[in-house]
Structures are given as C-alpha cells and as structure tokens.
C-alpha cells in the first residue's frame, strides 16, 4: 500500500457502488437518476461537495461508503475561509496543506470525524477561529482533536514550547490516539515539502522527526507512513548515502527479477496444490530498509575480507496473505516441507503480537541455488493492521459505545491506550522540567522494539529492548525497585545490570517479602531484624550506580528522585570512645591483667608478637616461630604464612595462651563478610561492629562481582569473648550471607560466624567464648542460621544449595 497512490486494500470496496449496487427506481435510467438527485439536492438547499474535495471523497468512500459528506464539505469551507490569503513557504495557498493532510488520512482509512478535525487542525493555531467556535459547529470530539494538535505559543513558553507541545499532544493521545495520527500525517506532508525550508530548519525538523515522530509512528503501527518519513529524513540528513542507495534500488528495479518473482510463482503453485487460498506477492524494500541491509553486509565481510555485494534477495521479501490464522501455519508447513528453513529465523508474531499491533509469521528458506529468501505470512486483517496500525482498528470511542462492530476475540490490542503509551504517560508526570522531559522522551523512543519477559509468578513485563533487571524491578512497582537487591533470570542469579532478552523468566529479589508479587527475597524472608537491619537504619534504596543500568525513563526518574530525597551519608566508623563520651560497656578490658598474652616454652621473657596475617585470638590453636631479635611470632595453627616459615627451616615452638593475659590495645582480628551488594552495606556493617564496643582499625571493600561483594575488616577486640558477638552482629546485617576469619584453620577457633540463638530455642545458647568446633559440624539443637542463608555460597555458582541440616560448607 502506498499513500501517494491511494490504492485500496485487497478485499475492500473501491466505490460506493461496489459496496452495494442499487436497482433503478421507476425504470429511470442512470442519467435521469443523476439529474433527479441533483435537483433534489438543490431543492433541500444543501450545497454540493466542493470540487476540491472530490479526490478526497473518492478515497474516503473506499473505506467508509456511508460517510457524511456534508460534514466534510462544511469543514472544508470553514477551513478555506479561515486560511484565505495565507501562503505556505512554497507560495501555494495555505488550504492546500490541511487538504493534503486530510487526503493522507483518507487513504489510510481514517473516519469522518478524524478527517473533519484534520481539515480544521491549523485553524485555531493560525487563524482567528477559536476552539469554542469549532466545538459549537462540529462538536466537542472534533474540538478535542483540534486542540490536541494545536501548538503552544513560543511567546508563552519560549524555548520550551516544542517540548511542552509534544507533552500536550502525548497527554491528549492518551485519551484518543487519533490526535497523534493527525500529527503524523501533518508531519508527513511538511516533510514532503521540506525542500522549501532553510537548510538549518530542514536539519532541525528532520532530526525531531527521526527522534520522536518516526518512533511514534512505529509504536502506533502505521508502517506506510513511517517508511516514507524514514526515506525523507534519510535524504535530508544523509543526501549522499541516500543517492547511492536510491541509485542501487533503481538499477535493480530496471533489471529483470530472476529470483523473487520466480520463487513467488513456485510458492503460489505449491499452495494451490495444497488447497490453501493465498495471495503471494513480492514486497520491495524501501530505501532505508535496503540501506540497513547493506550496512549489515558491510559489517560482515566475505571470505576475501571485502564487503559482500548486495544479493537479489536483499531487495525484497515475499508476502503471503491468507484468509485465517490456521492458513498461516499451513503455509508455514508447506514452506518448511518444500524448502530448507534457516534455523533461528522463524518468529511467530501471530500468537505473540508485537507491542505495535503487528502480527505475522516470519521465516527464511534456502533455495536450490543457495539464496536465502525471507517470507512473511499473515491474514488480510493482519496485513491491514500491519500497514495502517491503529487507524485500521477504527474509532476507539465508537467501539466503546458499542458502535460499528463488536471487538474481535482474537484481537489482543488496546487501540485507546497501548501499553507503551500508558507507561510513557506515567513517567512524564514526574518530569516537570521541559529539558528533562525531552531527553527522557527521546531516550525512551530510541529503542525501535520491545521485549516481553515473564515473572516466575506468571506476570508479563513489556520492556524496551536493552532493558536490564533494574528496569524490570521498577516496572513491578517503585517500592519493589527501591528494595531490589538482586535478580534471577531463567533460574540463575545474575547482576542487576544484566540485559534482558525476549522471553526471559525473571524474579526480582528484594530485602523483604511484602512486595506486589509476594516473597521475592533470595530465600523468601527478611533478616531477623526486619528490613531495617539490626540498628534500625533503613537498608532499602537504589545506589547511584543503578542509573548506569537503567534504560527506561520510569526507572531513571524513580532512582533520581530517591537519591535526591536521600543524600548519601558518610559511614561513621567508631574506633574507640569519642572525646568526652564514655566507652561502650560491652566487653571492658580487665584492669591490671598481664600484658603478655602468650608464653613460649623454653623462652621465658621472650617478646611475643601476634601475627597480623591470621590474627590469632584465644582460644585459637597457635604455633610459635622464632624470628630475629629473639622474639617469637605467634600464628594460628594451619596459617599459610606460618607453614612457609616452617618450610624455610624455622623450628616450631610450643606456645600457650596465658590465662588473663591480653595486649595493651586488645586483640586484633581480621573478619571477612560475604554479602549481596546493596546500598549502604558498608555503613550498616561498621555500625554493627562498633555497636559491640569494638574499634575498627581498617576496612577494605573489594569491587563487586556479579551480585556479591566482599568486605574485610581489621578490628581491635577489648576481650576475646567479643569476637563471637561481633561475628553474630555482622551476620545479622541484611544481605550478609557469610562471615569468616581469613586463613581459618580446618578445626578449632571461631573461624566462622556462630549460629544465632533462636528466640524459640529450647536449649541454652553455646558459650561464645568457647571453641566453636569444625566448620562442617551441624548447628547445635535449637539453633538456626541468621536470615536462613548462612554459608550459601554454593547458590551463586550454579551448584545445589546445601541442605539446611548441613554446615556452612556442607
């Protein structure tokens, strides 16, 4: 279908007479009936349709044989009178513009109300006619459409006039998509005459058309209009490339078709033998479509390393139009039976329509000579919708009033408000700034397609191509997005930056269970202290890094708003009592006890140094090694550094913890926390450590890998008994799934976080100062791991999670 030619779609009447022939009355001939009709018309005082409307009436009658031509005549006369004396840049009378726009809409099959509004669409903006006068003469529906496409004055809005005009049009489109249909037809005619504009204006208008209007035409499914707009923009912004591509297309059109036409004939004969009624035609590519194919060939050089030459199949595709949905799959069966289908090229948009109403079966087959031909299969109704989109669906308001026809049960579209438009209208309300709105609009429309993902609970998510798990989280709700700490795609944990593909199965993991889809946490529960963590601070909220992963404006706006309302705070690391404040009374150091914590057999009075690599703390099993100066270095049993000293020939010394002994500044211990990465994790961990009266000497945070992050802290313990309490406090922090001491030996010493006593425990809790035993030992009766994810490292490597009855490394 081409708008210029105004050819009718197959199967539709081309005139009022075709729609239903009438028998002559009283034996009068056609000439007599014509004279009688004109006399009756003059007798009633109704003026005939103006001659300028005759082509328009003919195009309109093809789609709407019973249209009210009198209403069109009145609208034309008012528009012609209002624009009288005005000229366009080309020097033509201004009335030629609304007349041409209305002709485009008539060829698309728009209704009479849309055509009336199109004839009047510039009257309120450029003439003395008011919106109230339009409503009085043609009704509020026409007035609403005219108001929707009327531009805002630059006098009132300045540089923001264009952005605010588009915002106004989009809001109006949310109630009636015909507003945007009229705007697209208006832009198409302006682009056809863009050569009369100044070069700078041509570039500016072409860029706005490329960035906003063409994507909107794609989303409304009006392919014939979109294709012509693309070609004109291509010629305006890239004239040299357009000239080369157009010349290549012209040479192909002038030569004989030795591939597509013969294959179309062969396929038509095969379908006829199979008893499938079908119309097989060659669908040529337009200029931009061919240019995209050539770019793909340039990006994939041949065996000799040089760009591949265009093939005959690059210039077009085969279109097969059948009667019903079942025939589509019957054609597919014949194609794949008689010719070799290419793996991965089949796409079923009949069962799963695109977001822009498009339905077809796509496939590609290899012919005997090795050529590959693309084939599209659709019904007549699908073809009509594929060409004209929402226009083919008719007036949504009449359908809502139960007017012309009942909705098709197989029609899965929403002509009044498509899903992408609803989402766009939601986030535009959150961007009052015109520049921010314009940037978000162009970014949202940049993707030329959408994908469909499904949650593990069966909810369908429509996302733009390139969207990440962050976008999916915010599509489920702003609260879900803010509380997101991870995602699972197709059953595997992935990073939040993971780009989703069409058909992915997604689960959003949050730090709580009160989300729209029920439990979304990694294990379906919150931490023992609820979503706010052990110290009552709020843990939920996005990180600034999420902005780099968000592809949809809704997600970006929600993240930016949250970050603006929650400015970042520096984590408070307490390394001791603040000036003028008493020290926390958690684990005070006993006054007057010996400063030497370890005694070495056979070396009384020798200086003792606790190794910094393994940071031994009573009651760790320890080994001493002599070092220079007669001192003794004390390592935990099994420490790799100590083993190397022994391999170097240093004899091991028998050392023992001195009862009641302690270094002057307390024991140093190194603790390592494995956690799901989330905002403010560092602040919450340091707060949990300092809350136990323990000073932090140093902290190291490794770069996140996938979902995981590793924090390493060196702390000063006022008493050995504080170690177990600190490990428990760290494990209670939301998102932390494992806490250990680096270089922990296989047995002895509190190498990992001890289990947290349950509030409902029947037996007494284990003494935190006593040895915890082997890490592989099962937890004591009446004791459960904190948050239900203690030691679940295997879950992140794709292995089976350990049994809840096994130890952390079971």
Catalytic sites, residue numbers: 125-126
d(CA 169, CA 179): 7
Q: For tokens 């659709």, what's the residue?
A: 378
Q: For residue 747, give the DSSP letter.
A: S
> Residue 566: helix, strand or coil by DSSP?
coil
Residue 282: name the closest of 373, 191, 170 by CA.
Answer: 373
In the 8-state DSSP scheme, what is residue 87? B
Give the number of other CB atoms < 10 A from CB of residue 368: 7
Containing 771, the helix (H) or strand (E) segment is: none
Q: Are 260 and 35 in contact (CB under 8 A)?
A: no
> Exposed, middle or buried: residue 747 (CB in 10 Å: 0-12, 13-18, 19+)?
middle
Half-sphere exposure for 412 (CA within 13 Å, toward CB): 11
The vertex-426 CA angle with 423 and 429, nearest 5°, equals: 145
Listed residue (340, 418, 336) closest to 377, CA to CA? 336
Q: What is the DSSP letter of 721?
A: T
Return the number of other C-beta atoms located less than 10 Å from residue 758's C-beta: 15
Closest CA to 737 of 771, 709, 701, 776: 709
8 A C-beta contact, residue 109 and residue 388: yes
- What is the pairing mode between strands 505-510 and 450-455? parallel
Which residue in 608, 703, 690 sits closest to 656, CA to CA? 608
How far, in Å, CA of 507 to CA of 488, rounded? 5
Q: What is the DSSP string of 377-439?
A: EEEHHHHHHHHHGGGGG--HHHHHTT-S-PPPTT----SSS-HHHHHHHHHHTT--SHHHHHH
Q: Can you name the residues that pair with 488 across neighbouring β-strands?
A: 493, 507
Distance in angstroms (rounded) separating the CA atoms of residues 558 and 561 = 5
Distances (CA, A) of 211 to 38, 152, 218, 556, 786: 50, 20, 12, 19, 52
């Amino acid at each position: 279908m081409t708008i210029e030619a105004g050819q009718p779609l197959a199967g539709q009447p081309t005139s009022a007479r075709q729609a239903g022939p009438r028998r002559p009355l009283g034996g009068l001939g056609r000439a007599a009936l014509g004279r009688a009709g004109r006399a009756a018309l003059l007798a009633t005082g109704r003026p005939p349709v103006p001659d300028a409307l005759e082509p328009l009436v003919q195009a309109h009658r093809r789609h709407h044989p019973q249209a009210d031509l009198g209403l069109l005549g009145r609208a034309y006369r008012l528009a012609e009178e209002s624009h009288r004396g005005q000229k366009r840049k080309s020097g033509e009378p201004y009335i030629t513009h609304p007349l041409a726009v209305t002709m485009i809409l008539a060829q698309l099959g728009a209704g009479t109300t849309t055509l009336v509004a199109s004839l009047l669409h510039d009257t309120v903006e450029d003439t003395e006619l008011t919106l109230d006068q339009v409503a009085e003469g043609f009704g509020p529906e026409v007035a609403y459409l005219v108001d929707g496409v009327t531009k805002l004055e630059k006098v009132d809005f300045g540089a923001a006039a264009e952005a605010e005009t588009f915002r106004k049009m989009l809001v109006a489109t949310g109630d009636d998509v015909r507003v945007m249909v009229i705007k697209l037809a208006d832009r198409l005619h302006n682009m056809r005459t863009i050569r009369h504009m100044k070069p700078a204006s041509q570039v500016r208008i072409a860029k706005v058309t490329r960035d906003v209007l063409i994507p909107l035409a794609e989303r409304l499914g009006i392919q014939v209009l979109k294709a012509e707009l693309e070609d004109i923009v291509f010629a305006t912004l890239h004239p040299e490339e357009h000239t080369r591509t157009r010349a290549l297309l012209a040479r192909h059109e002038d030569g004989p078709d030795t591939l597509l036409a013969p294959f179309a004939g062969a396929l038509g004969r095969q379908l006829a033998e199979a008893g499938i009624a079908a119309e097989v035609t060659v669908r040529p590519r337009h200029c931009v479509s061919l240019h995209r194919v050539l770019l793909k060939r340039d990006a994939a050089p041949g065996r000799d390393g040089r760009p591949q030459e265009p093939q005959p199949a690059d210039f077009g595709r085969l279109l097969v139009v059948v009667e019903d949905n079942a025939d589509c799959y019957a054609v597919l069966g014949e194609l794949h039976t008689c010719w070799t289908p290419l793996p991965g090229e089949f796409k079923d948009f009949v069962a799963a329509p695109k977001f822009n109403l498009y339905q077809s079966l796509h496939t590609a087959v290899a012919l005997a000579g090795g050529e590959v031909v693309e084939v599209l299969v659709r019904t007549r109704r699908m073809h009509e919708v594929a060409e004209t989109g929402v226009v083919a669906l008719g007036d949504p308001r009449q359908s809502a009033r139960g007017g012309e026809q009942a909705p098709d049960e197989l029609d899965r579209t929403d002509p009044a408000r498509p899903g992408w438009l609803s989402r766009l209208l939601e986030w535009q309300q959150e961007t009052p700034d015109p520049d921010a709105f314009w940037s978000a609009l162009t970014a949202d429309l940049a993707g030329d397609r959408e994908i469909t993902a499904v949650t593990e609970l069966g909810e369908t998510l429509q996302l733009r191509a390139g969207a990440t798990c962050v976008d999916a989280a915010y599509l489920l709700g702003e609260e879900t997005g803010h509380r997101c700490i991870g995602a699972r795609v197709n059953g595997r944990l992935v990073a939040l930056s993971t780009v989703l593909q069409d058909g992915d199965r997604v689960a959003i993991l949050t730090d709580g269970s009160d989300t729209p889809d029920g439990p979304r946490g990694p294990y379906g529960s919150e931490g023992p202290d609820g979503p706010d963590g052990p110290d009552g601070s709020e843990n939920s909220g996005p990180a600034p890094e999420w902005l780099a992963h968000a592809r949809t404006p809704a997600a970006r706006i929600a993240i930016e708003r949250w970050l603006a309302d929650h400015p970042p705070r520096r984590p408070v690391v307490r390394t001791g009592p603040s000036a003028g404040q008493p020290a926390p009374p958690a684990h005070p150091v006993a006054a007057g006890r010996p400063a030497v914590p370890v005694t070495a057999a056979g070396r009384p009075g020798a200086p003792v140094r606790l190794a910094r690599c393994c940071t031994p703390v009573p009651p760790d099993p320890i080994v001493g090694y002599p070092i220079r100066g007669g001192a003794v270095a004390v390592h935990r049993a099994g420490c790799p550094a100590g083993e190397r000293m022994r391999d170097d020939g240093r004899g091991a010394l028998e050392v023992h913890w001195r009862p009641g002994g302690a270094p002057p500044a307390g024991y140093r211990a190194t603790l390592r926390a494995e956690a799901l990465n989330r905002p403010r994790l560092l602040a919450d961990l340091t707060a949990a450590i300092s809350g136990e009266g323990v000073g932090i000497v140093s902290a190291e945070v490794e770069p996140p890998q996938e979902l995981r992050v590793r924090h390493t802290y060196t702390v000063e313990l006022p008493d050995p008994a504080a170690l177990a309490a600190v490990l428990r406090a760290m494990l209670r922090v939301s998102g932390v799934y494992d806490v250990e001491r680096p270089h922990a030996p296989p047995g002895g010493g509190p190498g990992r976080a001890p289990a947290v006593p349950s509030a409902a425990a029947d037996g007494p809790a284990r003494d935190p100062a006593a040895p915890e035993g082997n890490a592989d030992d099962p937890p004591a009766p009446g004791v459960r791991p904190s948050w239900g994810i203690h030691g679940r490292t295997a879950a992140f490597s794709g292995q089976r999670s350990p049994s809840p009855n096994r130890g952390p490394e079971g």
